[in-house]
Chain A
């Protein structure tokens, strides 16, 4: 637009300020266009049309069941007053402001500033807040519910070690109902847990016709020789061999033994439906059981899996980086303009290489991983393939730019000494390329290890593969262990790569 190239010599408005204002009152932006501020007018028109369009869409989303537009508006405002009332006021204000702006634009001296566009941005921001379903209230109120899984992720280490588990138990036979020969108490073996019940016979709890519990006989249980200060549960074993933890008042009977490994308690015999056909005396059994960890502590399964997968992940990233470097070096020469601008043929190769690199690079590694999984199946090889492809494209571009930015001075100087072509490359080209090559390669290794932690989410192997499983199984402690390993590895890698880069560059 030739008329706009020199601002000072702007052409005067086609219409009077008043006419421009009125024009913009009917069609926002029209007045500005008439005042030879075409771009400003089009921008305002476009902004107002899109804001109104987006607002109408949100109103429809909020109240599309209402019969007419007015009913929809009313309903939507009722549902989201904090959002819609300021927005509607803002739209009216913007419309009026655009008219006022047209008036100013058409004035020979006074040229309006960018204030009207700040209002446009504010309105878009308001819309974005609603379209993005931003809800800070929810963020605050629902945080406590998330605290339990979150705390398990943040500190998962209790699940990192486990011991060999062994069940300590002792039981006593109970005859139901009592007859003249109640079973004798079990014999006590020194060093073994021992449980004695008095009496050794009785009646189970039963239900009356109103389904009210009629308590059975109360047994006095005395236990000895158990593990001290350990959680203990009382189990009931019926003659058919069915076992269950006894409840009393709706709660499981769970208690801790004292420091000598003994306990003493009263137990009302539980309710058990005895089929009428099974009449006659039956032997039930009451048992006290403890689960105790014995033997040395050892890494738990999630810990072992996480370590193994983390090693896999690091190697996954490393292999992808090495393959990426190997393939991208030759490609980078083809993508360096200073080397390829010699003839039309090489220039065509340059443009083709560049285009392919750009396309490959613009596709995320996660998508490459999905494609690779289709080809070679689940596992780390798919991840290596995906990261290699992306690394080649990214490194190829970075390397070729490093080649392009080589200083020709030293090349000239080495040539002037009578050096041959190979000597010139070794003495003038390679020393200049080492720092960017090392720097970019380490940077890529860094990225690849970080990417390889998530590439497993789509089946590309590595720790992401188990992380997503733990999360889906709601095993937050195990997931936490995996997350910790990722964080530790990435932190170490960050440090190491910074160190190496400092040495080489």
Chain B
């Protein structure tokens, strides 16, 4: 269980990104965070694995206070939390396989890893992860030779290598073609349902939220302005929608509902 208590983040330039955000996520949930750009979604996700240091508040995961962890503990926590990014954040010049193996960095002998040496079982695991996302044949290509959808699958494979208990996905489909969006979110849904991995995912399109979320929170100006279940969001009125997205928002529908699994 992940408990976020009174989380506040104020950047050095005075920007308040999060104001007193509190929520709880049960294990195995697919929590979707919605909100406009700049509403604090990315900051919230990055505070959970402390890529961004929170200013105030607590994050407690399965009884461990992430916000109080020392660097060694923090790395042990981070390796159990996979992360997927809008811009994929692959090392473009490295091979696909190296990018995927980087997911093991928190587990392997650090000195051997500096020489790019990984245990044999890790390499096999990487190949299985690539097979699982359907791009095993691309393993030895450079990451930037792949298409956007393929690069995001590499991102998922990298997260899988961490054998995560939780996945943080920051706008995983915002840079992709709408059709590919279902393919990528389909993998996340599969991991969520089959392996019970908790997923925290920020999304833009309401259609995708309705299709994948088990629970939703809405952020606006760093505050939680909406909490709902999947059913709630299916019944969401335009008023509630505008509460989250502002007056100018319009509903946008996205592609086919079947995932590309």
Contact = CB atoms under 8 A, between A and B. Distances in A.
Interface of A: 409-410, 412-420, 422-423, 426-428, 431-432, 434-435
B105 A427 contact: yes
A479 to B, nearest CB: 46
25 contacts: A409-B89, A410-B92, A412-B46, A413-B83, A413-B102, A413-B155, A413-B158, A415-B51, A416-B51, A416-B78, A417-B102, A417-B104, A417-B162, A418-B105, A418-B106, A418-B107, A419-B102, A426-B116, A427-B91, A427-B94, A427-B98, A427-B105, A428-B91, A431-B92, A435-B93
Interface in B76-121: 76-83, 85, 87-94, 98, 102-107, 110, 113-114, 116
Contact of B94 (A416, A417, A422, A431): A431
B162 A413 contact: no
B187 to A, nearest CB: 17
Contact of A416 (B49, B93, B107): B49
Contacts of B114: 422-423, 426
B110 A420 contact: yes
A417 B106 contact: yes
B75 interface: yes
B253 to A, nearest CB: 30
Contacts of A413: 83, 85, 89-90, 102, 155, 158
Given A415-B51, A416-B51, A419-B106, A432 B91 contact: yes
Contacts of B113: 423, 426
Contacts of B81: 416
**Interface class of chain A by DSSP:** helix
Nearest to B108: A423
Contacts of B98: 427
A218 B160 CA distance: 111
Given A413-B158, A427-B105, A418 B89 contact: no
A22 to B, nearest CB: 57
A423 B113 CA distance: 7
A412 B85 CA distance: 10
Nearest to A422: B114
B120 to A, nearest CB: 19
A431 B116 CA distance: 12
Interface string B217-251: 00000000000000000000000000000000000
A427 B102 contact: yes
B75 A419 contact: yes
Interface in B35-93: 46, 49, 51, 75-83, 85, 87-93
Give the 3 A-B residue pairs with the shortest CB-CB distance, closest first.
A418-B106, A418-B79, A409-B89
Nearest to B116: A426
A431 B143 CA distance: 12
A227 B199 CA distance: 100
A268 B90 CA distance: 96
Contacts of A418: 75-80, 105-107, 162
A424 to B, nearest CB: 8
Contacts of B106: 417-419
Contacts of B116: 426
A413 B94 CA distance: 14
Counting chain B CB atoms within 10 Å of each CB, the highest count among A415, A417, A419, A431 belongs to A417
A434 B93 CA distance: 9
A97 B155 CA distance: 68
Contacts of B103: 417
A415 B77 CA distance: 12
Given A413-B158, A431-B94, 12 more contacts: A409-B87, A413-B83, A416-B168, A417-B102, A417-B104, A417-B158, A418-B75, A418-B77, A419-B105, A419-B106, A422-B110, A432-B93
A422 B78 CA distance: 16
Contacts of A412: 46, 51, 85, 89
B93 A417 contact: no
Contacts of A435: 93
Contacts of B88: 409
Given A414-B105, A427-B91, A431-B91, A420 B75 contact: yes
Nearest to B168: A416
Given A422-B110, A422-B114, A410 B78 contact: no
Counting chain B CB atoms within 10 Å of each CB, the highest count among A416, A418, A432 belongs to A416
Contacts of B105: 414, 417-420, 423, 427
A431 B77 CA distance: 26
Contacts of A416: 49, 51, 78, 81-83, 168
A240 B116 CA distance: 88
A214 to B, nearest CB: 94
A432 B51 CA distance: 20
B175 to A, nearest CB: 11
A426 B105 CA distance: 11
A409 B171 CA distance: 14
A417 B79 contact: yes
Nearest to B105: A419
Nearest to B78: A418
B78 A417 contact: yes
Contact of A423 (B85, B93, B110, B162): B110
A413 B161 CA distance: 13
B94 to A, nearest CB: 5
A337 to B, nearest CB: 16
B184 to A, nearest CB: 16
Nearest to A416: B83
A420 B85 CA distance: 20
A282 to B, nearest CB: 92
Contacts of B85: 409, 412-413
Counting chain B CB atoms within 10 Å of each CB, the highest count among A415, A432, A434 belongs to A415
Contacts of A423: 105, 110, 113-114
A454 B124 CA distance: 57
A435 B144 CA distance: 14
Nearest to B81: A416
A414 B75 contact: no
Contacts of A420: 75, 105, 110
Counting chain B CB atoms within 10 Å of each CB, the highest count among A413, A415, A434 belongs to A413
Contacts of B80: 418
Nearest to A410: B91
Contacts of B94: 427, 431
Contacts of B51: 412, 415-416
A420 B105 CA distance: 8
A413 B88 CA distance: 9
Contacts of B77: 418
Nearest to A411: B89
A412 B45 CA distance: 12
A427 B75 CA distance: 16
A423 B162 CA distance: 15
Nearest to B74: A418
Contacts of A414: 91, 102, 105
A415 B90 contact: no
